[in-house]
Amino acid sequence: MLLDLLARVPHALPLLFALQPADDGIKYFTLRDPEPERNLAWFVLNAFFLIAVALVVTVGIGIAFGTFRVWLLEKYPHNRFNGLPEDDPGETFRLNDPGK
């Protein structure tokens, strides 16, 4: 089909050759080496990496929670979440308590 089209247009073939990119010579391509086979050492290294990531995340969450607890203690010192017992004698009133 392409040859029929080139035969019908008289100057199509030289125009087609003129539009081709210049030949810069031989180009060499290298292929990457295949990925090495995963073995026990790869598994152990990945396990250590997973443990390190889990430790970093745990320490980060612990620092954030501790910072929240310190802020809560400073902002609301008599909050029951700060360790104040619910049955604080200074805060409760019972009907059978002797009056003043």
Mean pLDDT of 25-29: 77
Angle at 25 between CA 19 and CA 31, to 5 degrees: 110
Of residues 94, 93, 72, the one with CA closest to residue 83: 72
pTM: 0.47
Q: Which residue has the higher pLDDT, 10 or 51?
A: 51
* Per-position DSSP letters for 59-90, written without gaps between them: HHHHHHHHHHHHHHHHH-TT-GGGT--TT-TT
Question: Tens digits of per-residue pLDDT, 62-100?
Answer: 999 999 988 888 888 777 777 666 665 666 666 676 766
